[in-house]
Structure formats: structure tokens, C-alpha cells
Copies of this chain bind each other. A is one copy, B any other.
Amino acid sequence: METIEQLLESKGIRVTAMRLLIYKFLAEKEIAVTLSDIENAFGKADRTTLYRTIKTFEENDIVHQIDDGTGITKYALCEQGCNCNIKTDLHLHFHCSICGNTVCLTEHKIPQIKVPEGFVAENVNLVVKGICDKCSGQ
């Protein structure tokens, strides 16, 4: 079991109180969060700090960015099965139109997509919209 401190150090970024708090916040949430979500949770901290912390996490493959079609960028922790830096191993995301939550469906891989001649596919973003398990009443 790796501690958060060890994870940050292994990425070569400094361990600070702010970063540990934000990491824990992301770990507790099971859904993708926006910068505003983090801002609301850490009222005392400055927006810029949160913004740059998330950017640092993103650059070091600690979180990955999700564009679920709401127009607001969301972030989620990269998990064991999430090799989001490896282009051929992308999972998909599910956005619930009722609760507005977005979750990673890590175990669901994106099928191979064919593109026309001359096009080179490097990356795929797939968001399924609908009703999540909690809102569908099951």
C-alpha cells in the first residue's frame, strides 16, 4: 500500500498540505469533480492554487481530465486500471442527466473505431449520457 506522500514523491512533485487535502478529496469522491466543486469544498484556499494543483496532478498522470459535454471540465483520480496516458487503453465515462454526476467506467473499454483513409486516430473521447444506477432506482 502506497501512501499519498510516496505517490507524489515518486512523481517528483513536492508534498504539501494543500496537495494532500485535494488528493484525499478526490479519493473520497467517486465521481468526477469540477474546479468549482473543489473550490466549494476548500473555501479558504485560493482558486488559483486549486487550479494549479489540479494542473500539476494532470501533468503527472495523477488525475485525468473529463469532458462530459456539460461544458465544464471535470477531473477524476487515475486508478489502477486507468492507464490514461496510454492511448490505446481508454475507458469511457458516463454522465447522468438527472443527478449530473459523471463517473468513470474503468472496466468498459472503448471498441476499436475505424476512421477514413488519411485520418490517423490517436485518441478517443467517449461519453455515454443517460441515467445512472442510483437515479434509475435500482
Please give the residue numbers on chain A whose beta carbons come within 8 Å of chain B beta carbons, in ascending order. 67, 69, 71, 73, 92, 94, 97, 105, 108, 111, 113-134, 136, 138
Oligomer: number of copies: 2
Task: Using A125-B126, A126-B126 as known contacts, list a sample of 7 further A-B pairs with CB atoms less than 8 Å apart, ordered by residue number in A.
Answer: A105-B116, A108-B115, A118-B132, A121-B129, A123-B128, A124-B128, A125-B128
Which 3 A-B residue pairs are closest in the complex by CB-CB distance? A118-B133, A122-B130, A123-B129
Write out the residue numbers on chain B whose beta carbons fall within 8 Å of the beta carbon of A132: 118-119
Write out the residue numbers on chain B whose beta carbons fall within 8 Å of the beta carbon of A116: 105, 108, 133
Q: Are A119 and B97 in contact (CB under 8 A)?
A: no
Report Cα–Cα, A111/B92, bound state, in Å: 13
